Amino acid sequence: MKLFAPWALWFLGSIPLIIMMYILKQKFEEREISSVYLWQQVLKDIEVNTPWQKLKKNLLLLLQLLAALLLVLALSDPFVTLKGTDYSNLIVVIDNTGSMNAVYDGGTRLQKAKDLAEVLIKNAATGTQITVISSGRQPKVELSNTTDKQEALRKVNAIRTTNSSGDINDAISLVKALSKQALTYKAVFYTDGGVNLEDINGELVSVSKPVDNLSLDMLSHTLKDGKLKMLVRITNHSSTEAAREITIYGNENVLDIKTVELKPGETKSVMSEAVVNEVTYIWAEINGSDGLESDNVVYDIVKPSKLQKVMLVSQSNLFIEKAFSIIENVELYKSNPGDEIEGEYDLYIYDGNMPSKLPSKGSIMLINPPAGNEIVSVAGEIEGGRAKAEQHLLTKFIENTSFGVSKLKSIELPYWADELLDVEGSPAAFTGQYRDRKVAVLSFDLHNSDFVLTSEYPIFMHNLAGYLINISTGEKSAYQSGEAVNLNPVPDAVSAFVENPSKKVQDIELKYPILPFENTEEVGIYRLVQKLEKEELQSLFAVNFPSDTESNTLAQQVSSDGTTDDGKAFITGRRIAAWLLVLVLLLAFLEWVVYIHGY
């Protein structure tokens, strides 16, 4: 047993005072009596209360001495070791991945873990250095080396649920680093998964009580001529057969309802078709409740299938044709310089030539532009050199490119343009908005460079196309909860924000490099809004529960040594001051009973 306030033992000096109160002579009051019959008894009482006589047996005295002793011990804050060793540092690791949202004894696994961690912290020895770590998609130190138990309890209670995937073993290296600063330590892991405890002084507290669960693992689609074909995959993580209805929605309208029966552990794919009009996203959900609600819904974004028409005006340029032929939703048309162009196109590419009059609509790309055009001023041709990429959204993934250009047009960078490529101080490529239309200019002939032989060339052309005609930039539209989303705002966006499924808004800083959007814990449809000077662009992306790693709530997980504590927290000992105070109160009550009955 250890005393954390040994100074309180000085109060043991009160015990002799209690004894002296019983052995000191009492003062009696003189009174006249009518008989001397009781004198003999009075003489006996006087003898008993004579100072410094042998102490007689007295139950009240014993109770008071015991109460005083227990009170002094309580003030000294004793700590009784129950098992193991008393450690100077306690590291508490709590798993808060998606599977910890599963049902456990009327609450969730995470709540059970937090409750058990509270018991551990409350019973830790006074002065113990406590560290709290949450382990979601990435381990995070919530609190480091504090002796304030109340602060540690607040941090434990503040650990929130997530829907992300993760491995608690990723926290092992963090525990090892923290333990190097401790004389002695113990790490306790609260999780529903296995933990490799081979190289650390740790213990697993398992909260993986098996529960039945069904999960929606995937939703995909194809859209053609207004006909939407959808596929939903569902898995039964249960010990019994299950029958469920799957409701499929287009935006907020019901498209179909399917009934599916599954054997234990079985996975099925369900097909559905619907004729739709202007559907931007689809989602499916399972009716009823089970052991994990988070994986009962799944989302997907319906991408627009409108083809973007591109007109290439050139004698012959296979490099441009090949680059645009691999871009999704782009249809390339070709024409010779001087030919009359019929119809309207989303993008016009003029390679080494310019029309007498520009079309009234559509974006413009100029390659090796001739002198005398109305968009840029060309001051002849100059010697080339090595080209490098400037820092810009459209040079994403080609930042380290370097290629040779033999010669290029001498063009002063217009005030409305942003430089993308530079050759020895001269702009080789730039973009901007000229008279309310998007324009891109390459000041050199692609045949006069080795740019087309580099792996960065198709990426650069794809980025340019994405800017000029707002096609998909190749970023995926469905993510898992907790996964970072790489946003790609258009260069001329004035402001941008992301709205989550709960309608909460987070502004996006339009400063290169654009940081990934990481607040994707909530499952559902997110909306990216980009505000331009004269219009507003909106795009959607979906976030789904990682059912492939977090939905199997049936398996009982164990630690690396094959043991599981099934919710039993590791406790080194207990502080017993509160129990001693309870005993003091009981003794006080017993003393009162003895006094009343005259024992």
- At 229-247, the pLDDT tens digits run 999 999 999 989 999 999 9
Q: At what angle do helices 59-75 and 14-23 cross, to 10 degrees?
A: 170
Rg (CA), the chain: 40
Residue 69 — pLDDT band, cuts 50, 70, 90? confident
pLDDT at 50: 54
**pLDDT over 80 (residue 6):** no
Of 168-172, 282-286, 365-369, least confident by mean pLDDT is 168-172
Altogether, the residues listed in the chain come to a count of 599
**pLDDT over 70 (residue 384):** yes
How big, in percent rounded to 5, are the helix, strand and coil portions of the chain?
Answer: 25, 35, 40
Q: At what angle do helices 109-122 and 149-158 cross, to 10 degrees?
A: 180
Give the separation between CA 44 and CA 23, rounded to whole angstroms. Answer: 15
Give the separation between CA 114 and CA 134, rounded to whole angstroms. Answer: 11
Domains annotated for the chain, with CATH where assigned, are: 2-81+578-597 (no CATH), 89-209+556-571 (3.40.50.410), 213-304 (2.60.40.10), 308-469 (3.40.50.880), 478-544 (2.60.40.1930)
CB of 453 closer than 8 Å to CB of 404: no
Please, what is the Cα angle at 18 between 15 and 23, to 5 degrees? 125
Closest by CA position to 520, among listed 230, 210, 165:
165
**pLDDT over 80 (residue 41):** no
Token duo for residue 201: 């002084």
Give me the numbers of helices (H) and strands (E) for the chain, helices first please: 10, 31
CB of 173 closer than 8 Å to CB of 255: no
Torsion 83-84-87-92 (CA) sign: negative
Sequential DSSP letters for 476-524 = -SEEETT--B-----TT-SEEEEE-TT--EEEE---SSPPPB----S-E
Residue 420 — pLDDT band, cuts 50, 70, 90? very high
Torsion 264-269-274-278 (CA) sign: positive
Token duo for residue 333: 């048309």
Residue 299 — pLDDT band, cuts 50, 70, 90? very high
CB of 75 closer than 8 Å to CB of 100: no
Type and span of the H or E element at 430: strand 426-434
E-only strand ranges, 157-212: 185-191, 202-206
Token duo for residue 93: 């690791």
Token duo for residue 150: 């109340």
Give me the amino acid identity at 397: F
Cα distances from 493 to residues 17, 519, 530, in angstroms, run 85, 21, 6
Token duo for residue 305: 């299938």
Q: Residue 232: exposed, middle, or buried by beta-carbon count in 10 A (0-12, 13-18, 19+)? A: buried
End-to-end CA distance of the chain: 36
CB of 349 closer than 8 Å to CB of 310: yes
Give the separation between CA 130 and CA 145, rounded to whole angstroms. Answer: 5
Residue 368 — pLDDT band, cuts 50, 70, 90? very high
Using DSSP bridges, classify how beta strands 378-389 and 417-423 pair: parallel, antiparallel or unpaired: antiparallel
Residue 293 — pLDDT band, cuts 50, 70, 90? very high
Cα distances from 407 to residues 387, 402, 536, in angstroms, run 11, 15, 40
Type and span of the H or E element at 78: strand 78-81
- At 254-265, the pLDDT tens digits run 999 999 999 999
Type and span of the H or E element at 468: helix 456-469
Answering whether pTM is above 0.75, one says: no
Token duo for residue 85: 């060793």
Report the SS3 class of residue 428: strand
- At 107-165, the pLDDT tens digits run 999 999 999 999 889 888 778 899 999 999 999 999 999 999 999 999 999 999 899 99
Token duo for residue 526: 């997110």
Residue 367 — pLDDT band, cuts 50, 70, 90? very high
Beta bridge partners of 498: 506, 528
Report the SS3 class of residue 592: helix
Q: Is the peptide bond before 513 cis (omega within 30 degrees of 0)?
A: yes
Half-sphere exposure of 196 (CA within 13 A, CB side): 8
pLDDT at 558: 45
Give the separation between CA 177 and CA 138, rounded to whole angstroms. Answer: 16
pLDDT at 226: 79
pLDDT at 563: 44
Report the SS3 class of residue 321: helix
